A and B are shown apart, each in its own frame.
Chain A
Amino acid sequence: MHGRLKVKTTEEQRIEKHKQQQKKLAAYRMGMKQILSTRSIDSYEPESLAICTQILSGNPDIYTLWNIRKEIILIEIEKSKSNDIEGEDQLTKFLDNEIGLTETCLKSNPKSYGAWHHRYWVLLHHPNPNWTREFNLISMYLSYDDRNFHVWDYRRLILQKKGETLENEIKFSTNLLNENFSNYSSWHYRSTLRKLDADTVGNELTLVQNAVFTDPADSSAWFYLRWVLSHPNIPCGDKEEALESFEQLQELEPECKWVLLAKCWLTGSLCLNDKKHVDKRVEYYQQLIKLDPQRKGQYEDYLKAAETKKAVGDN
């Protein structure tokens, strides 16, 4: 039960609610009994299928019901093979209905594993799947909730079927980020498109630096920044420059822990790992412990490591 608020009710409301629920429960049990008792792998009753539609529309997580529908689809596929003239049309109509049902279910529960899987499975068994239409539809869904990982995963499956140039997907990702820098899912997606290399890393650093400067309090882009900065191909000069710009940002945002973290990553990386920077890092972690006490344990571990390094350097 995720996100269901407990509501105070009067005794009268409670009795009425109880009555309604008992009615619903009895109907559910009767429906399930009908569906399960008529289940067979070589034929099906349209009435049971209709009840199945109804129950799933109310709760798309009843996984066995999706399995029963898949068995029925397999029966319909066999049937279509024996009818050369209208078979394919009838099957198409049947499967389009299934896709429609998943849409109904996903509208009420966009996180239903069963409904997402069924939709893809149906398309895989469709005589003429329209991957482009599906791809456009799913890209539209993404604009309703751009953090729903089911939608992203499904989009990826459809993309593999439809095919798309890398260039277009990079453009898609850049547009998403320009619309909203504070979307972790978009940053994640960008990280999956291509490997960081000497040619791309500079561009990504500019993009993500732009983002963290726009909204330093939002965590999303900082995770991407850490990843970009961990790449060995960033020239030392660029790192010095980045460090300088973070110094400036810190003057504007002295309470922002992320800026301090970025400075730690930069000074901890290879070419900035000299004595001056090690001394600084000890200071940064001491500040972080004060600024972000919840993660004190982590900073203390890093502080200890930096202090050890400092001691070795001093000797």
Chain B
Amino acid sequence: MATLIKDVKLENVPTEVLFDKHKEFLQSYEKDENNYEYGMTDYLRISGMYWGLTALELMSINTKNQKVIDFIVKCQDPESGGISGCIDHDPHMLHTLSAVQILVTMDEVNAIDVEGVVKYVVSNQQEDGSFTGDKWGEVDTRFSFTAVATLALLNRLDAIDVKKAVEFVQSCMNFDGGFGSRPLSESHAGLIYCCLGFLSITNSLHIVEQDTLAWWLCERQLSSGGLNGRPEKLPDVCYSWWVLSSLSILGRIHWINHSAIQNYIKACQDVETGGFSDRPGNVTDPYHTLFGLAGLGLLGDERIIKVNPTFCMPQAVIDKLGLKPQILS
């Protein structure tokens, strides 16, 4: 029985990273309000802003912008303190982190009610240490990460029960050393990033089976050079970030082939419109553009501002806050 390996073939790979095209792509994204994709995704605007603005920051563009700050302020719910994806939508942990990441990068965090944000994050911690995404009860390790990342950026990690939060994340560890969204859930590179990021922020990486997990992660690299998120799945540019940042946190980024993944990421650029897509030939978007650029940054491309693997933000911003997320050697 022969196994068909799922992968893609790369053709006509651009030899360069098309920085100017990518800047243009991101900067024009929010200019046309009647752009269909833009208009139909209004409910996740705050996270969309984080992807686009951070990608621009990584290309050395100062994104500080009063309009963005005012928009975020309007998205904060005065009652719960949480921040929504868009005006008139409900607060959620994912958008709360994105908003804080944007404001911290702009050095404007006091524009919002910081204590309100802290109160919101605290309100989503459950008895068992886990976090829900909002008051409607969906539990996921993504929210454990967003909780501690948000609080760490606000220097208020002390507001939650960190010990219990770590115990919950530890209970999501699997036979392969990876992590899933809840206890007993299958390992997935995106959730592994969330859990390693969580453990990095809470200084608890000692619970990880470093080499078992790093092996699983480096096996994500396919012949095309691209990385997938789980065994027997197709490669996708966003895993360039989830896998590379995880390997960086584990001190094992040298366990995969750098030029091959760089080549795959370059192949996912659209030479006409700019931006990166998940796989070569697909439609580009700000999400994959950030994770493509950030991935190249972790691989040492010096034209990209140094990026922090735990927070996916410029390293200089993390340094300025005095944060030292744990990294294994």
Chain A interface residues toward B at CB < 8 A: 1-6, 18, 21-22, 24-25, 28-29, 32, 36, 59, 61-64, 66-67, 70, 113, 117, 121, 147, 149, 152-153, 156, 182, 184-185, 188-189, 191-192, 214-215, 217-220, 223-224, 226-227, 293-298, 301
Contacts and interface: CB of A to CB of B under 8 A. Distances in A.
Interface in B269-285: 270, 277-279, 281-285
Contacts of B92: 63
B45 interface: no
Given A121-B137, A214-B1, A227-B175, A220 B180 contact: no
Contact of B256 (A3, A4, A63, A294): A294
14 contacts: A1-B278, A3-B282, A4-B283, A63-B92, A64-B90, A67-B136, A149-B180, A156-B185, A182-B3, A220-B231, A220-B232, A223-B231, A294-B257, A298-B252
Interface stretch (B35-43, B101-109, B307-315): B35-43
B232 A182 contact: yes
B136 A293 contact: no
A1 B283 contact: yes
A192 B188 CA distance: 15
B230 A219 contact: no
Contacts of B218: 295, 297-298
Contact of A184 (B2, B231, B283): B231
Contacts of A192: 174-175, 184
B184 A117 contact: no
A113 B143 CA distance: 13
B186 interface: yes
Majority secondary structure, B binding face: loop
The 4 lowest CB-CB distance pairs between A and B, nearest first, are: A191-B175, A297-B254, A21-B36, A298-B255
B230 to A, nearest CB: 6
Contacts of B1: 214-215
Q: Which of B44, B88, B281 has the most CB of A within 10 A?
A: B88
B182 A62 contact: no
Contacts of B73: none
A28 B43 CA distance: 12
A219 B220 CA distance: 11
A294 B221 contact: yes
Interface residues of B, number: 65
A2 B285 CA distance: 9
B89 interface: yes
Given A22-B34, A294-B257, A296-B257, 6 more contacts: A66-B136, A67-B90, A117-B136, A121-B136, A152-B185, A297-B255
Contacts of B134: 63, 67
B231 A2 contact: no
Given A117-B138, A219-B231, A59 B187 contact: no
A224 B175 CA distance: 8
Contacts of A18: 36
Given A24-B36, A296-B257, A219 B88 contact: no
A22 B278 CA distance: 26
Interface string B114-137: 000000000000000000001011
A59 B40 contact: yes
B260 interface: yes
A67 B43 CA distance: 13
B288 to A, nearest CB: 8
Given A1-B278, A3-B278, A153-B182, A227 B176 contact: yes
Nearest to A7: B283
A222 to B, nearest CB: 9
B221 A184 contact: no
Interface string B210-226: 00101110110101010
B186 A64 contact: no
A224 B187 CA distance: 13
Nearest to B37: A1
Nearest to A296: B257
A156 B3 contact: no
Contacts of B90: 63-64, 67
A28 B88 CA distance: 15
Contact of A29 (B5, B39, B180): B39
A294 B252 contact: no
Q: Which of A189, A191, A218, A223 has the most CB of B within 10 A?
A: A223
Contacts of B138: 113, 117
A226 B282 CA distance: 36
A296 B257 CA distance: 8
Interface in B74-112: 84-85, 88-90, 92
Contacts of B219: 219, 295
Nearest to B135: A67
Q: Which of B182, B186, B254 has the most CB of A within 10 A?
A: B186
Contact of A62 (B37, B43, B181): B43
B39 A28 contact: yes
Given A113-B138, A184-B231, A184-B232, A218 B3 contact: yes
A118 to B, nearest CB: 9
A3 B136 contact: no
Contact of B232 (A21, A147, A188, A191): A147
A290 B239 CA distance: 26
A298 B251 CA distance: 11
B40 A22 contact: no
Contacts of A29: 39
Contacts of A1: 37, 277-278, 282-285, 287-288
Contacts of B7: none
A70 B137 CA distance: 12
B278 A295 contact: no
Nearest to B137: A121
